[in-house]
Amino acid sequence: MARVLHDNVEVEVEVTQPEGQVRARTKLSQRGVSFTVEEDNLLISGWLNISIDVIRGTDQKSTQLWIRIHDYFNTYKKLNWPEHSVGSLTNRWSTIQKATNKFCGCLAQVESMHPSGTNEQDKIDKAKALYRSTQKSNYNLDHCWNLLRHQPKWQVHMDNLPTKRKTGCSTVPAANVIDVEKNESMSTNL
């Protein structure tokens, strides 16, 4: 509603926009539902399994890779989980990847100081404090880092970062098991 002065008389006029414009503006400002820890775990499982598929190899185009990860995600997701588009999954993966890369860099920095008398948890805590001071936010993707840190595919990813950004993670050799869920109902075989 707007008040307009017409012939020295104040009149209330209803101002409306065409319906299409209102919807477009509303749609642009909408944000999808946040991912849960379980959804993050499934996304990581999909990325690991699909990206190392021996049949397709590493010759997959990014678009094809993410369509396959999306299909994997939808195949194994719980029925009550919200739908996530290919774009939503790629954006979430990008968020996980960037934050986890930075956290790995912080951890590598802490480990390079060779602090005596510290155990692994102490180093992780110091890396989180360093992350908080450099990124101005908390690292809250521990569940993602714990799934990725021992995976050969993640190590290859970290090794392929440009030298300036190469950060390395604290790693301990692990079996070539890719199933990040302990859930027997979710098969990782395609």
In a domain, 107, yes or no: yes
| Residue partners of 69: CB distance under 8 A and separation at least 6 | 43, 46, 47, 50, 89, 93
pLDDT digits (tens, 9 = 90+) for 82-101: 999 999 999 999 999 999 99
Confidence class for position 189, pLDDT limits 50, 70, 90 = very low
Q: Is 10 helix (H, G, I), strand (E, B) or coil?
A: strand
pLDDT value at 186 more than 50: no
The letter for the amino acid at 171 is: T
Q: What is the pTM of this model?
A: 0.67
H-assigned helices in the chain: 19-29, 37-51, 62-76, 86-112, 120-135, 142-148, 152-159
C-alpha to C-alpha distance for 91 and 64, rounded to whole angstroms: 16
Q: What residues make up the domain containing 133?
A: 37-159
Q: Tens digits of per-residue pLDDT, 10-26?
A: 555 454 444 544 433 33
Count of domains forming the chain: 1
Higher pLDDT, 124 or 6: 124
Q: Flag whether 81 is in a domain.
A: yes
In a domain? residue 26: no
Residue 178 lies in a domain: no
Please report whether residue 109 resides in a domain.
yes
